[in-house]
Amino acid sequence: MDHQAPNQESLLDRLRPHIPWGLTTPREERGRSIILVTAGALLDVLRASRDHLGLDMLLDLTAWDRMPALPRFEVVYLLGRAGAADRLTVKAQVDGEPPRLPTATGLYRAAVFPEREVYDMFGLVFDGHPDLRRILMPDDWEGHPLRRDFSLFEEPVEFHGHAPKVPSEIIPYFPTGSGSGSGGAAPPGTGSDAGDLPPSGEAPGWGRQPPVDRPSGPDTERK
Protein backbone atom coordinates (compact mmCIF):
# COMPACT_ATOMS: atom_id res chain seq x y z
CA MET A 1 0.00 0.00 0.00
CA ASP A 2 2.87 2.35 0.67
CA HIS A 3 3.74 3.19 -2.87
CA GLN A 4 6.16 6.01 -2.83
CA ALA A 5 7.31 8.15 -5.60
CA PRO A 6 11.02 7.73 -6.14
CA ASN A 7 11.91 11.29 -5.28
CA GLN A 8 9.61 11.60 -2.28
CA GLU A 9 12.49 10.41 -0.15
CA SER A 10 14.59 13.41 -0.86
CA LEU A 11 11.88 16.03 -0.67
CA LEU A 12 12.82 17.15 2.83
CA ASP A 13 16.50 17.06 1.98
CA ARG A 14 15.93 19.18 -1.07
CA LEU A 15 14.04 21.68 1.05
CA ARG A 16 16.74 21.85 3.68
CA PRO A 17 19.05 24.52 2.22
CA HIS A 18 16.21 26.95 1.64
CA ILE A 19 14.60 27.22 5.04
CA PRO A 20 15.59 28.02 8.63
CA TRP A 21 16.18 24.36 9.37
CA GLY A 22 16.59 24.83 13.10
CA LEU A 23 13.01 26.03 13.41
CA THR A 24 11.59 22.86 11.92
CA THR A 25 11.12 19.22 12.82
CA PRO A 26 11.11 17.06 9.70
CA ARG A 27 10.16 13.42 9.64
CA GLU A 28 9.08 10.68 7.28
CA GLU A 29 6.05 8.79 8.46
CA ARG A 30 4.05 6.09 6.72
CA GLY A 31 5.19 7.25 3.33
CA ARG A 32 4.53 10.93 3.98
CA SER A 33 7.05 13.73 4.24
CA ILE A 34 6.06 15.87 7.18
CA ILE A 35 7.69 19.01 8.47
CA LEU A 36 6.65 20.71 11.68
CA VAL A 37 7.50 24.39 11.65
CA THR A 38 7.15 27.28 14.04
CA ALA A 39 4.55 29.87 13.24
CA GLY A 40 7.25 32.39 12.43
CA ALA A 41 8.92 30.15 9.88
CA LEU A 42 5.69 28.98 8.26
CA LEU A 43 5.60 31.36 5.34
CA ASP A 44 9.30 30.85 4.64
CA VAL A 45 8.78 27.11 4.43
CA LEU A 46 5.71 27.45 2.23
CA ARG A 47 7.49 29.89 -0.05
CA ALA A 48 10.58 27.72 -0.29
CA SER A 49 8.43 24.69 -1.05
CA ARG A 50 6.70 26.53 -3.82
CA ASP A 51 9.74 28.23 -5.32
CA HIS A 52 12.42 25.59 -4.89
CA LEU A 53 10.55 22.28 -4.83
CA GLY A 54 7.96 23.22 -7.41
CA LEU A 55 5.09 22.38 -5.08
CA ASP A 56 2.64 24.61 -6.87
CA MET A 57 -0.61 23.26 -5.43
CA LEU A 58 -2.08 23.72 -1.99
CA LEU A 59 -4.15 20.57 -1.94
CA ASP A 60 -5.48 20.77 1.55
CA LEU A 61 -5.43 23.06 4.53
CA THR A 62 -7.01 22.07 7.78
CA ALA A 63 -6.47 22.12 11.50
CA TRP A 64 -7.19 20.08 14.53
CA ASP A 65 -7.62 20.78 18.19
CA ARG A 66 -4.93 19.08 20.26
CA MET A 67 -6.67 19.83 23.51
CA PRO A 68 -5.61 19.34 26.30
CA ALA A 69 -2.10 19.41 24.85
CA LEU A 70 -0.37 22.68 24.24
CA PRO A 71 0.04 24.44 21.89
CA ARG A 72 -3.58 23.80 21.30
CA PHE A 73 -4.03 23.92 17.53
CA GLU A 74 -2.15 22.27 14.75
CA VAL A 75 -2.68 23.60 11.26
CA VAL A 76 -1.87 21.18 8.47
CA TYR A 77 -0.94 22.26 4.95
CA LEU A 78 -0.74 19.63 2.26
CA LEU A 79 1.36 20.77 -0.66
CA GLY A 80 1.59 18.96 -3.93
CA ARG A 81 2.83 19.36 -7.42
CA ALA A 82 0.49 19.36 -10.38
CA GLY A 83 1.01 16.28 -12.45
CA ALA A 84 3.59 14.78 -10.10
CA ALA A 85 3.66 12.63 -7.00
CA ASP A 86 5.53 15.04 -4.74
CA ARG A 87 3.72 15.62 -1.49
CA LEU A 88 4.79 17.61 1.52
CA THR A 89 2.79 18.03 4.70
CA VAL A 90 3.61 21.21 6.60
CA LYS A 91 2.34 21.51 10.14
CA ALA A 92 2.38 24.52 12.42
CA GLN A 93 1.28 24.52 16.01
CA VAL A 94 -0.24 27.63 17.43
CA ASP A 95 -1.74 28.80 20.68
CA GLY A 96 -3.40 31.89 22.05
CA GLU A 97 -6.89 33.29 22.09
CA PRO A 98 -7.53 33.82 19.33
CA PRO A 99 -4.71 31.78 17.82
CA ARG A 100 -3.07 33.60 14.96
CA LEU A 101 -1.13 32.57 11.90
CA PRO A 102 -0.07 34.49 8.83
CA THR A 103 -2.21 33.79 5.81
CA ALA A 104 -0.97 31.64 2.99
CA THR A 105 -3.27 33.29 0.45
CA GLY A 106 -0.41 35.41 -0.86
CA LEU A 107 1.46 32.27 -1.83
CA TYR A 108 -1.38 29.94 -2.69
CA ARG A 109 -4.65 31.40 -3.91
CA ALA A 110 -6.29 28.09 -3.06
CA ALA A 111 -5.95 28.94 0.63
CA VAL A 112 -8.81 31.46 0.56
CA PHE A 113 -11.64 28.99 1.15
CA PRO A 114 -9.93 26.56 3.51
CA GLU A 115 -8.54 29.33 5.71
CA ARG A 116 -12.04 30.67 6.02
CA GLU A 117 -13.16 27.18 6.98
CA VAL A 118 -10.46 26.82 9.63
CA TYR A 119 -11.39 30.22 11.01
CA ASP A 120 -15.03 29.19 11.01
CA MET A 121 -14.47 25.86 12.67
CA PHE A 122 -11.59 26.62 15.05
CA GLY A 123 -11.50 30.38 15.45
CA LEU A 124 -8.00 30.53 14.07
CA VAL A 125 -7.23 33.95 12.68
CA PHE A 126 -5.16 34.22 9.53
CA ASP A 127 -3.55 37.64 9.53
CA GLY A 128 -3.72 39.28 6.15
CA HIS A 129 -6.51 37.11 4.77
CA PRO A 130 -8.55 39.27 2.40
CA ASP A 131 -11.98 38.00 3.35
CA LEU A 132 -11.86 36.21 6.67
CA ARG A 133 -15.45 35.43 7.55
CA ARG A 134 -17.42 32.32 8.23
CA ILE A 135 -17.92 30.02 5.30
CA LEU A 136 -19.99 27.01 6.38
CA MET A 137 -21.71 28.08 9.58
CA PRO A 138 -24.28 30.91 9.61
CA ASP A 139 -22.81 34.38 9.88
CA ASP A 140 -24.28 34.94 13.34
CA TRP A 141 -23.16 31.62 14.75
CA GLU A 142 -21.29 31.80 18.00
CA GLY A 143 -18.39 29.62 18.87
CA HIS A 144 -16.28 27.43 16.67
CA PRO A 145 -17.81 23.98 16.29
CA LEU A 146 -14.79 21.81 15.66
CA ARG A 147 -13.08 22.81 18.87
CA ARG A 148 -13.01 19.87 21.20
CA ASP A 149 -14.79 21.76 23.97
CA PHE A 150 -17.70 22.61 21.72
CA SER A 151 -19.92 19.68 22.53
CA LEU A 152 -22.40 18.21 20.14
CA PHE A 153 -25.91 19.15 21.06
CA GLU A 154 -29.36 18.90 19.69
CA GLU A 155 -31.48 21.88 18.88
CA PRO A 156 -34.72 21.77 20.81
CA VAL A 157 -37.63 21.41 18.42
CA GLU A 158 -41.21 21.93 19.33
CA PHE A 159 -42.52 18.43 18.78
CA HIS A 160 -44.81 16.94 21.34
CA GLY A 161 -42.93 14.76 23.72
CA HIS A 162 -39.53 15.74 22.40
CA ALA A 163 -36.80 15.83 24.99
CA PRO A 164 -33.55 17.17 23.58
CA LYS A 165 -30.68 14.78 24.02
CA VAL A 166 -26.97 15.24 23.95
CA PRO A 167 -25.90 12.60 21.45
CA SER A 168 -22.30 12.64 22.43
CA GLU A 169 -21.45 12.87 26.03
CA ILE A 170 -18.47 10.98 24.70
CA ILE A 171 -16.69 14.05 23.48
CA PRO A 172 -14.86 15.16 26.59
CA TYR A 173 -15.99 18.34 28.14
CA PHE A 174 -13.24 20.65 29.22
CA PRO A 175 -14.12 23.45 31.60
CA THR A 176 -13.45 26.90 30.27
CA GLY A 177 -10.87 27.51 32.94
CA SER A 178 -8.48 25.23 31.13
CA GLY A 179 -7.36 27.95 28.82
CA SER A 180 -9.72 27.20 26.00
CA GLY A 181 -13.28 28.39 25.81
CA SER A 182 -15.07 28.10 22.55
CA GLY A 183 -14.38 31.66 21.62
CA GLY A 184 -17.74 33.37 21.40
CA ALA A 185 -16.51 36.74 20.36
CA ALA A 186 -14.98 37.26 16.97
CA PRO A 187 -11.28 37.90 17.05
CA PRO A 188 -10.44 41.55 17.38
CA GLY A 189 -9.52 43.45 14.32
CA THR A 190 -10.84 40.99 11.80
CA GLY A 191 -13.50 40.89 9.24
CA SER A 192 -17.04 41.95 8.98
CA ASP A 193 -18.66 39.84 11.65
CA ALA A 194 -16.63 41.30 14.47
CA GLY A 195 -19.11 44.03 15.12
CA ASP A 196 -22.45 42.59 15.95
CA LEU A 197 -21.66 39.73 18.27
CA PRO A 198 -22.51 40.04 21.91
CA PRO A 199 -19.33 39.71 23.93
CA SER A 200 -20.18 36.55 25.78
CA GLY A 201 -22.69 35.06 28.12
CA GLU A 202 -26.11 33.74 27.21
CA ALA A 203 -26.31 33.52 23.47
CA PRO A 204 -29.66 34.46 22.03
CA GLY A 205 -28.81 33.59 18.45
CA TRP A 206 -30.80 30.95 16.61
CA GLY A 207 -33.00 30.27 19.59
CA ARG A 208 -30.58 27.71 20.88
CA GLN A 209 -30.78 26.73 24.47
CA PRO A 210 -28.36 24.70 26.47
CA PRO A 211 -29.47 21.07 26.40
CA VAL A 212 -32.08 20.50 29.02
CA ASP A 213 -31.06 17.19 30.47
CA ARG A 214 -27.35 17.77 30.65
CA PRO A 215 -26.48 16.45 34.07
CA SER A 216 -23.63 18.55 35.34
CA GLY A 217 -25.07 21.96 34.80
CA PRO A 218 -22.62 24.50 33.51
CA ASP A 219 -23.63 25.61 30.07
CA THR A 220 -20.36 27.38 29.62
CA GLU A 221 -19.27 25.10 26.86
CA ARG A 222 -22.02 26.40 24.64
CA LYS A 223 -21.10 29.97 25.10
Which residues of this chain interact with other proteins, rule CB under 8 A? 1, 3, 5, 29-32, 40, 43, 56-60, 62, 64-65, 76, 78, 80, 82-85, 87, 89, 102-110, 112-114, 117, 121, 127-131, 134-138, 145-146, 148, 150, 152, 167-168, 170-171
Q: C-beta of 99: minimal distance to other proteins in Å?
A: 14
Residue closer to other proteins by CB (options 161, 203) is 203
Q: C-beta of 160: minimal distance to other proteins in Å?
A: 25
Residue closer to other proteins by CB (options 148, 161) is 148
Strand, coil or helix: what is 170?
coil
Side-chain-side CA neighbours of 79 within 13 Å: the count stands at 29
Q: C-beta of 119: minimal distance to other proteins in Å?
A: 13
Kindly tell me the sign of the dihedral angle through the C-alpha atoms of 82, 27, 47, 100: positive
Strand, coil or helix: what is 197?
coil
Residue closer to other proteins by CB (options 15, 87) is 87
Residue closer to other proteins by CB (options 31, 218) is 31
Q: β-strand 24-29 against 100-102: which pairing, if any?
A: unpaired
Q: C-beta of 96: minimal distance to other proteins in Å?
A: 14
Backbone angles phi, psi at 200, to 5 degrees: -170, -160
Q: C-beta of 129: minimal distance to other proteins in Å?
A: 7
Residue closer to other proteins by CB (options 152, 163) is 152
Residue closer to other proteins by CB (options 160, 193) is 193
Cβ 184 vs Cβ 193: under 8 Å: no
Cβ 182 vs Cβ 144: under 8 Å: yes
Cβ 91 vs Cβ 34: under 8 Å: yes
Cβ 214 vs Cβ 166: under 8 Å: yes
Q: C-beta of 35: minimal distance to other proteins in Å?
A: 14
As a dihedral over the C-alpha atoms of residue 41, residue 43, residue 45, residue 46, rounded to 10 degrees, the angle is: 160
